[in-house]
Chains A and B, each alone.
Chain A
Amino acid sequence: MSSVEEIVGRADALYHDLEFGSVKRWREAHGGAKAVGYLPIWVPRELIDAAGMLPVGLMGGRGLIEIIRGDAWFQSYICQIPRSTIELALTGRLDAIDGFLFPSICDVIRNLSGMWKVMFPQKYVRYVDVPQNYDSAVGGRFFEGELRHLWNDLKKLSGTDPGDDAIRASIARYNANRRAIGDLMALRSEQPWRVPTWEAYLVLFAGNVLPVDEHTAMVREYIAAARAADRPRRDNARVVVTGSFCEQPPLGLLKTLELAGCYVVADDLALGRRWPDADVDETGEPLHALSEGFLKHSPPTAARYEPDGDRGAPLVQLVKRTRAEGVVLAAPSFCDPALLEQPILQDSLDAAKVPWTAFKYSESLGQFQVIREQAGTFADSIKLWSEA
């Protein structure tokens, strides 16, 4: 069995590989099969996989590249992820990717889809609109049509013509992957000292570039290794981190939170890896199944309309479910979805008497001292004064 260090080392290498070497190697190993990139939060990766292509999660530059050309395309008040994504493309790092999917999340990512059409006309580009109406007969009917369109496009891009069974098989693979990730998250929530969040995040992040079965195996391997590892249990505060579903915080920030005395027991980092949060039907009409998976089992997040109740309620429920003692509202600067709803979340947490703290970051953040002090003070205050 591999050790935690070995598994995390493999994931760490993938995280730091902004040349997408693993994607290139996969292509070579698969006779030049194509790769399709997608931005946060969620696209139906099952369709890319079923068409014989590699889904590649594009989650910015992780602060690992200098943004030079990307800055020339955006005003100072636009977030970082479109800049670094364009930087990756203009520096040739995304050349191995043949198609790009831009899901509905915010106006910046939406407009980036149009920029891509103009700037990279040789690539396949599609804006993936998702319904904000969750009635199967209304939003579902629309979404199934969108998925059919996408499926036909992907088959054309791949030059293959797989049938519905290929999608069903892919759904099964992704269900297995999500179950493994669910087990990892459950272990971290129950025994966070065994699963530092930065490690769990690296393992999760590896799913951006690994084929799904390989990633599932890595997650299972890590769970086994983490269970076996002898790690001390500290008197840290159990916190939920939320707001980080799109532009990702740098790895150093996650380490800083834990060094400051926080055990992260739930988060929305790389949320698309865990979406939907229940199995998709593996037996029926597959596009309908994917649509229903989205409509009925999407995790609550800022980019998704909440028809019933309040946007803050799911967060409070998550706090209770994970027995968290506080919430860290960590949102990227200039992130409309996360920042616009923060007052709602804060009010809901206040009403539920859940302590919270808030800060902004960007993926290129390099100094963590202020956040360490803030998180440390927050953790201390929880341990000293919380009713628990």
Chain B
Amino acid sequence: MSEPDPKAAGAVKDASMIKQKEMIAGHFSALSRAKESGKKVVYTFVPGNLTELLHAFDVLPVYPEINALQSGMRKKSGAYITEAERLGHSEDVCTYVKCDIGMLKAGNIGPTGEKLPEPDLLLLSYTGCFTFMKWFELLKREYHCPVAMLHVPYQGDGEFTPAMRDYVVDQLRTEVIPKLEQITGKKLDEAKLEEALARSSVAEDDLVWVLESAKNKPSPIDAYFGGVYYIGPIFTAFRGTDLAVDYYRTLRAEVQQRLDLGLGPLTPEGEMKNERYRLVVEGPPNWTSFNEFWKMFADEGAVVVASSYTKVGGMYDAGFRHDPTRPLETLAEYCAGCYTNLNLPSRISMLEKYVREYSADGLLINSVKSCNSFSAGQLMILREVEQRTGVPGGFIETDLVDPRYFSAANVKNRIESYLQMIEQKRRNAGARVSVQVPAAVAPKTRLAVLP
């Protein structure tokens, strides 16, 4: 997820980055004053978030995944995870959850150093991730506040049927909206919701334009490491606001300017001058060593032209836009369309399309230990995309926010080896390139290029 600290990305800052930083600071400041300002606070998740609906009730959202990744970037997650494990949480499970629990036990201090308010409602948008359900069962014990469960059916057959949509809408009407009305003491302002949805659509147009600018050569953006900045506002508290519309208009103008000048993307150490490799990346980034990880790519002239991670909060480049004329239905369709709610054949097709449409040299999978929703099946995804496109696939393993699972030397070595393989494939254009790995070898050591 997004909203990393712009300071962590080095000295180079565009106006959009400064704007985003101000937006985030403003949001956390509002959260810290929530009790005195009388604002209600709702904890919810990024995939399948209902931000426009929350704005219509004038409540403030908190996204625990964002807090966890922020803790990861600020090198605090390790201690939080250790604390959670000391309290009995298994080393096997999601580190976002453990980081969140650890942060809570340490006083629930947010990324800006201010204490986060306790929730008035846990809005459990059960979309594309089983862990969400258990996460809020854990938080429910801590906060003793009501929970609104929104079960979003999985697209097991690759479609979101009218019956599924009706089910989600029914839950919005009978579960989510009544509980929001209950905690705020006011009825849903439908006009306000429709206005927010209309603003969402405007910002979504600009986001898609920015993401698709990576089809140019050189790409003016990095759609993974840079991409997490770009998705920040629209995946979180700002979708449906004028701030988001303004941010994406500014961002688009900046990227247009880079395109006009033929510039490459910004990296932690300035502009990338020489685009040597164009990659599609599947899987979330590592947050504890985010800059170091990014630099491993940038140093080699590798730019990520498309990524699946930037679709966890909405598949806008596939055509989805929030539709203010069908408020609840459009929210249901939004939820169902988030990346991890798609079945594996759909994910494979999407990645294949990215490789082709963005003229990528390869597909690299960053498999994170914490996230089975992403990770289970990735080795099959790799093989399928390789077979369908002919581009080589690479596989590395890290974690979201557990620093124990980021081995810098190991990751760097694999990335370099992978890029060398791409280079070799270019040299031997048309020839078969294959690194045979016995089937029983642990996937961790697998770096394969199949014909």
Contacts and interface: CB of A to CB of B under 8 A. Distances in A.
Bound pair (A, B):
yes
Interface of A: 68-69, 71-78, 82, 102, 104-108, 110-115, 117-119, 126-127, 129, 131-133, 135, 137-139, 141-142, 145-146, 302-303, 305-307, 310-311, 331, 333-337, 339-344, 346-347, 360
Contacts of A337: 130, 134
Given A118-B345, A118-B380, A310-B141, A110 B443 contact: no
A324 to B, nearest CB: 21
Contacts of B378: 75
Contacts of A113: 156, 343-344
Contacts of A118: 344-345, 348, 380, 384
B154 A119 contact: no
B293 interface: no
18 contacts: A72-B379, A73-B379, A77-B92, A106-B130, A107-B130, A107-B372, A111-B372, A115-B344, A131-B151, A131-B167, A133-B149, A141-B166, A142-B163, A305-B137, A311-B137, A339-B92, A347-B141, A360-B90
B380 A119 contact: yes
A133 to B, nearest CB: 5
Contacts of B376: 74, 78, 82, 107-108, 111-112
Interface magnitude class on chain B: 35 or more
B174 interface: yes
B373 interface: yes
Contact of B167 (A69, A102, A142, A343): A142
A104 B129 CA distance: 11
Contacts of B367: 75
B131 A129 contact: no
B93 interface: yes
Interface string B135-157: 10110110000010101011011
Nearest to A306: B137
A118 B381 CA distance: 10
A343 B88 contact: yes
Given A127-B157, A336-B130, A74 B384 contact: no
Contacts of A334: 92
B58 to A, nearest CB: 26
A78 B170 CA distance: 35
A288 to B, nearest CB: 15
Contact of B154 (A115, A129, A336): A129
10 closest residue pairs by CB, A with B:
A114-B344, A127-B156, A340-B134, A142-B167, A132-B151, A339-B90, A72-B439, A111-B376, A111-B377, A107-B373
Interface in B252-289: none
Given A117-B344, A117-B345, A138-B171, A77 B369 contact: yes
Given A82-B376, A138-B174, A142-B164, A305 B133 contact: yes
B209 to A, nearest CB: 31
Interface of B: 87-90, 92-94, 97, 126, 129-131, 133-135, 137-138, 140-141, 147, 149, 151, 153-154, 156-157, 163-164, 166-167, 170-171, 174-175, 343-345, 347-348, 367, 369, 372-373, 375-380, 384, 397, 439-444
A317 B390 CA distance: 57
B372 A139 contact: no
B175 A133 contact: yes
B131 A107 contact: yes
Given A78-B376, A306-B137, A340 B343 contact: no
Most B Cβ at <10 Å: residue of A78, A145, A302, A340: A340
Given A126-B157, A142-B164, A133 B171 contact: yes
Contact of A112 (B129, B149, B377, B444): B377
A268 to B, nearest CB: 16
Given A107-B372, A115-B380, A133-B149, A145 B163 contact: yes
A107 B97 CA distance: 16
Contacts of B369: 75, 77
A111 B344 contact: yes
Given A138-B170, A142-B153, A145-B163, A71 B442 contact: yes
A107 B137 contact: no
A114 B375 contact: no
Most A Cβ at <10 Å: residue of B133, B397, B439: B133
A135 to B, nearest CB: 7
Given A74-B376, A112-B377, A336-B93, A68 B138 contact: no
Given A111-B372, A129-B154, 9 more contacts: A72-B440, A75-B367, A75-B375, A110-B130, A113-B344, A115-B380, A142-B167, A307-B147, A340-B138
Given A75-B367, A118-B380, A340-B97, A346 B443 contact: no
Most B Cβ at <10 Å: residue of A69, A78, A106, A112: A78
